[in-house]
């Protein structure tokens, strides 16, 4: 059994990790940390896990916790995983960080976008970006995995076939994304207060969202040259789910049927990417609680643009499910172990 510890277990992504791993046939949960709920049974915080989880929340003792586990998941705000990563590497264990501390290759760029000093810059060269569909072989050999952000997951998976085949002008990419309120986390905030979100629809982080450099970094790696995007996220009045609509100018005439075939072939061996048949479009409700990413692609001959729609559950494929997928890769398990569940509907 793989001994697993979760640091930050009572946020929404932490709770999803606990939910998924509580039913994982190869995992033993050994520690769940929480500053706010230390000493309380975990099921008191999340009653839906009563009789599934018997552990109590505990304060973080980094040395002891790392020693007790084979792999550690950190589900913490940016800036809080750096020292933990250093201890994990020191003890020769594995880490999947669901935060942003190791996603960007450049400390200068990290500090510019996150306004936090990066204190473990020497570890960046060891970090692997945790999108299995792109970096599976590197993840399998890694000690430190930087789990992707939710918006970048939809954008990168949606654009990868076009960019790898040089079918899109990378100077024309526009990504218009919508997310449910759970993406903002569990902490109390006016912007996610019920009266503020209900019956409302709003953009935020316009031209400044911190996932922008992450998307640009990975698209640039795919393209072999610098890619600059326009990215605008929106908050919609639902609990979970994410859908990105992506636009770009095609380099050549190609119809929707050909594009669909290209995507089907590109993702033929990827269990968690579902390229939908022509006439079927992604919708967030079809993905609730699942680790799938649904994609549809359409050519618009009138404008010469391509339109890609990419949808996920932001807490699963956009965070905790993908983290477990990365763990499965690291330990040589089938990637769908513990994740092969049908989403809930309605």
CA 85-90-93 angle, 5° bins: 70
SS3 for 56?
A: strand
Q: Is residue 92 located within the same domain as residue 205?
A: no
What pLDDT sits at residue 188?
80
Which CATH number covers residue 58?
A: 3.40.50.720
CATH number at residue 195: 3.30.360.10
* Residue 84 confidence (pLDDT): 98
- List strand residue ranges (DSSP E) for the chain, in order: 2-7, 27-33, 57-58, 71-74, 94-97, 127-129, 144-146, 174-179, 202-203, 230-235, 242-249, 273-275, 293-300, 305-312
Q: Catalytic pick from 150, 175, 262, 276?
A: 150
In a domain, 345, yes or no: no
Q: Is residue 57 flagged as an active site residue?
A: no
- What is the reported pLDDT for 189? 87
pTM beyond cutoff 0.85? yes
Q: Are residues 127 and 227 in the same domain?
A: no
* Element holding 218 (H helix, E strand): helix 212-223
pLDDT at position 214:
98
State the 10-residue block means of pLDDT for the chain, 346 residues long.
98 98 98 96 98 97 97 96 98 98 97 96 97 98 98 98 98 98 90 92 97 98 98 97 98 97 98 97 97 98 98 98 98 98 90
Q: Are residues 65 and 180 in the same domain?
A: no
Domain annotation covers residue 294: yes
Q: What is the pLDDT of residue 287?
A: 97
Q: Which burial class, exposed, middle or buried, applies to 55 when counting CB atoms under 10 A from its CB (0-12, 13-18, 19+)? A: middle
Residues 159 and 105 in one domain: no
Same domain assignment for residues 52 and 170: no
Assess whether 16 and 134 both reside in one domain.
yes
Kindly report the backbone phi and psi dihedral angles of residue 210, in degrees, each rounded to the nearest multiple of 5, phi listed first.
-70, -15
Residues 307 and 210 both lie in one domain: yes
Tell me: do 63 and 162 sit in the same domain: no
Nearest residue to 114 (alpha-carbon basis) of 175, 205, 44, 222: 205
Q: Please indicate, yes or no, whether residues 206 and 245 belong to a single structural domain of this protein.
A: yes
Nearest to 308 by CA among 294, 322, 319: 294
Residues 6+ apart with CB under 8 A from 232: 175, 176, 177, 203, 205, 206, 207, 209
pLDDT at 187: 86
Residues 85 and 188 in one domain: no
Position of tokens 């902490």? 187
Indicate the number of domains in the chain: 2
Whether 341 is covered by a domain: the verdict is no
342 part of a folded domain = no
The answer to the question of residue 211 being in a domain is yes
Domain that holds residue 92: 2-147+317-330
Q: At which residue do the structure tokens 């935020």 appear?
A: 204
């Amino acid at each position: 059994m793989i001994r697993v510890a979760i640091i930050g277990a009572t946020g929404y992504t932490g709770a999803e990790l606990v939910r998924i791993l509580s039913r994982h046939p190869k995992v033993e949960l050994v520690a769940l940390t929480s500053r706010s709920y230390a000493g309380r049974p975990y099921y008191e915080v999340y009653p839906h896990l009563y009789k599934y989880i018997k552990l109590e929340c505990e304060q973080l003792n980094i040395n002891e916790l790392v020693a007790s586990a084979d792999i550690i998941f950190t589900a913490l705000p940016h800036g809080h995983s750096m020292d933990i990563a250093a201890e994990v590497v020191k003890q020769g264990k594995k880490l999947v960080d669901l935060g942003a501390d190791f996603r960007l290759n450049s400390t200068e760029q990290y500090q510019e976008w996150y306004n936090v000093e990066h204190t473990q810059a020497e570890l960046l060269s060891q970090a692997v970006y945790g999108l299995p569909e792109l970096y599976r072989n590197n993840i399998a050999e890694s000690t430190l995995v930087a789990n992707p952000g939710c918006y970048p997951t939809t954008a990168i998976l949606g654009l990868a076939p076009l960019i790898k085949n040089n079918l899109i002008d990378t100077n024309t990419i526009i990504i218009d994304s919508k997310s449910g309120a759970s993406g903002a986390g569990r902490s109390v905030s006016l912007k996610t207060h019920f009266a503020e979100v209900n019956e409302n629809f709003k953009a935020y982080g316009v031209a400044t969202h911190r996932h922008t450099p992450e998307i640009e970094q990975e698209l640039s790696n795919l393209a072999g040259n610098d890619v600059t995007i326009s990215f605008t996220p929106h908050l919609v009045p639902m609990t979970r789910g994410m859908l990105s609509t992506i636009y770009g100018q095609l380099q050549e005439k190609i119809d929707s049927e050909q594009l669909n075939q290209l995507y089907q072939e590109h993702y033929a061996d990827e269990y968690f990417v579902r390229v939908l048949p022509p006439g079927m479009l992604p919708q967030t409700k079809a993905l609730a609680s699942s680790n799938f990413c649904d994609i549809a692609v359409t050519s618009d001959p009138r404008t010469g643009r391509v339109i890609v729609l990419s949808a996920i559950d932001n807490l699963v494929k956009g965070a905790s499910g993908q983290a477990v997928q990365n763990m499965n890769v690291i330990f040589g398990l089938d990637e769908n172990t513990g994740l092969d569940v049908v989403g809930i509907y309605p």
